[in-house]
Structure 1
Amino acid sequence: MADDARAITQEQWRHAELIWEYHRMHHQVRACDVAVALGCNDIGVAECAAELYRDGLFTELVFTGGNSPSTVELFPRGEAVHFRERALELGVPDSVILIEPEASNTGQNISFSRRLLAENGLTPDSVLVICMPYMERRAFATTRKLWDEVEVVCASAPVSLGDYVKGQGDTGAVIDMMVGDLQRVMEYPKLGFAIEQEVRREVREAYESLVASGFDSRLIRV
């Protein structure tokens, strides 16, 4: 468990690990027609994309994302722009990269990327969606809703929650983000943003307990 300004109890950590595992889709990562890497506050997504490219899993890659309040200081020229630069540093050729620099939410990440690919003559049958580990399930549900004709495979860095928060340096912030993503998994289908996903009772209970403990900074009004 990483250090954090907020004290994290063993029970809270157990609940966080349960939610972390729920968010992971555990897909068998395989070759797809294209890859779409979702912008966020974690440059590790670009590094994961570069590794998957080196593994030969795709030949076309979209980096998508403008800015949000949580990323503008980290990536002042936009998430997709900075992610592309990191991928180039890691050996991904510029010729395989497309940039979508306008999206400000996950729905736009998917719909704008789909449009960009079509404008470049690409109509894939399968898409490898690369994102943060705790965002896999929401990314999957969003893509299935907005791009239902493609097969969706989710991929992220193969790390444990403990290793991830060590890299991020703030346990509480990561838990806040995971709790917020779980709320969106549960609520967005009602708003037409995503397909419905089963949420097991123990996962809901973990979510409710963490919200009651104050891990609520990323919740939306519902």
Structure 2
Amino acid sequence: MSIDQQAITEDQWRQAELIWNYHQMRHELRPVDVAIGLGSHDLGVAAHSAALYRSGLFPTLVFTGGNSPTTAMVFPRGEAVHFREHAIALGVPAETILLEPDATNTGQNITLAREVLSATGIHPTTLLLISKPYMERRSFATARKLWPDVEFLCASEPLEFDDYLKSIGDEKLVVDMLVGDLQRVIEYPKLGFAIEQEVPEDVHAAYESLIRVGFTSRLIAS
């Protein structure tokens, strides 16, 4: 039986949860100039962006993202477009949302969103990145590399690991993504794509263990 057909073991669950916790920055939120909602397969990003807007944390929200192989069928008009529509349905005024519909990776999310803001005369000094829970650290490291003169905070939907697994409905896919994002946290600084982040020994050991047993579908060639 392949790992795609196997239930995740208790040890694998604990290792994945360790990586899940590492990925989250746990920043204390405060008002910022702008928020950027990073496109993905997870519509919870749009919902949480709407909730944070309603709490008064920012006056302007940018949704960024085109499509990827995992989102083209779910969001056929693009991630940012669908996120914007969902946020408007949740009460965010349309005029407060800017749209960046072309980005296909995290670096482009940051650089193209910056261009959209600049074109409207907005030059933030503080910015909130809103992402999937396990993408906080990578988005932070990428943004700090590409836009070093801005202070970044990170936020994501406040879900426990088990609740997130249930919400996605595919344990193998979620663990693959956790492992893939950690690989990028480790490798991207060497390529100049992100700032370096310290990875604790226990997190790195969990990462290597999960790779050994086949959680590899989201790894990049190194």
2:146 alignment counterpart: 146
Deviation at 1:157, TM superposition (A): 0.5
1:107 alignment counterpart: 107
2:71 alignment counterpart: 71
1:156 alignment counterpart: 156
The answer to whether residue 31 in structure 2 is matched with residue 31 in structure 1 is: yes
Aligned-pair identity (%): 62
Q: Which runs of 5+ in 1 are unaligned?
A: none
Deviation at 1:5, TM superposition (A): 3.9
2:181 alignment counterpart: 181
Count of aligned residue pairs for this structure pair:
219
1:199 alignment counterpart: 199
Deviation at 1:116, TM superposition (A): 0.7
Deviation at 1:97, TM superposition (A): 0.3
* One-letter amino acid of the counterpart of residue 132, structure 2: M
Distance 2:18 2:153 in 1: 22
Distance 1:117 1:204 in 2: 37
Distance 1:93 1:5 in 2: 44
Which TM-score applies when normalising by structure 2?
A: 0.98
Q: Which runs of 5+ in 2 are unaligned?
A: none
SS of 2:152's equivalent in the other structure is: strand
Which of structure 1's runs of 4+ aligned residues deviate more than 3 A? none
1:217 alignment counterpart: 217
Structure 1 residues 99-124: Cα deviation after superposition (integer angstroms, max 9, x where no partner): 00000000000000011100100000
Distance 1:97 1:151 in 2: 21
Structure 1 residues 62-112: Cα deviation after superposition (integer angstroms, max 9, x where no partner): 000000111101100000000000001100000100000000000000000
* One-letter amino acid of the counterpart of residue 88, structure 2: L
* One-letter amino acid of the counterpart of residue 187, structure 1: E
* One-letter amino acid of the counterpart of residue 10, structure 1: E
2:81 alignment counterpart: 81
* One-letter amino acid of the counterpart of residue 161, structure 1: F
1:165 alignment counterpart: 165
Distance 1:116 1:136 in 2: 22
1:14 alignment counterpart: 14
Deviation at 1:24, TM superposition (A): 0.4
Which TM-score applies when normalising by structure 1?
A: 0.98
Distance 1:110 1:95 in 2: 21
